[in-house]
Amino acid sequence: MNYLRTYCNLIRKAEQRGYTKKKAKEREVYVEGHHTFPVSIFGGNKRIVYLTAREHYIAHVLLEKIFIKRYGNTHWKTVKMSVSHISFKGNNSSYFNSYLYENGKKRWSEIMKANNPSKKGISESTRKKLSESRKNKPVSNETKEKIRNTLLGKKHSKERILKNKISTCKYLYEVKNPEGIVFRTKNMKIFCIKNNLCPSAMRKVAHGKCKQHKGWTVKILSTLK
């Protein structure tokens, strides 16, 4: 199969259709913008065509196959296209099946092995020697104690915990409740928990993305060092 020809035909068909976001919306058709020449390889360009979700997914599958055929599985250009393909499920695409996913993940596994320094230039006998040396290496009591403390969890005083929480705060906030009472806080998360508020919603209010949350308003007074 000539993947490049199929890809070009797909792009040409979309260009002749002449969809823009506005035109597609008027016709109640869902479209997604697609760079004819992938930005991750060719850099920023204005060659954008609007495809349906299914066409968009197919375009990325074809691009990966084109680069595999031309450069092989582990070339950096192919890697870019493979990443785009296997991560497409996260881009609100429903055009993804187990067969395509499995093949994509297998290729990605081969890429990772080929680019892993620990897998290069080491013979099987050397690997076995390294494994044996690690098994027979004694572990000091000091190391055992460190591991034990890590697993059990190191306890901190209340003063230390409070200091850590304050040191991670970025802003000093001024908060006003629906009754008009003003509060000041450095730790928005703790303040919200105490007042049955959503921390992320209150931060959006503080940064001007929302006007209020449950009648509460908030603004940033200063940035903490």
Cα dihedral 35, 36, 41, 43 sign: negative
Tens of pLDDT, residues 120-134: 556 677 777 777 776
Domain ranges of the chain: 3-117, 158-223
Token pair for residue 142? 């000091």
Q: Which residue has the higher pLDDT, 141 or 92?
A: 141
Antiparallel, parallel or unpaired: β 217-223 and 182-185:
unpaired
Q: Which residue has the higher pLDDT, 196 or 165?
A: 196
Tens of pLDDT, residues 73-104: 888 898 888 888 777 654 444 455 656 656 66
Query: Residue 186's pLDDT is what?
Result: 84
pTM above 0.75, yes or no: no
Distance, C-alpha 169 to centroid of its chain: 25
Task: Give 217's strand partners.
Answer: 176
Distance, C-alpha 134 to centroid of its chain: 35
Which CATH number is correct for 158-223, 1.10.10.60, 1.10.10.10, 3.40.50.1100, 2.60.40.10?
A: 1.10.10.10
What single DSSP character describes residue 155? -
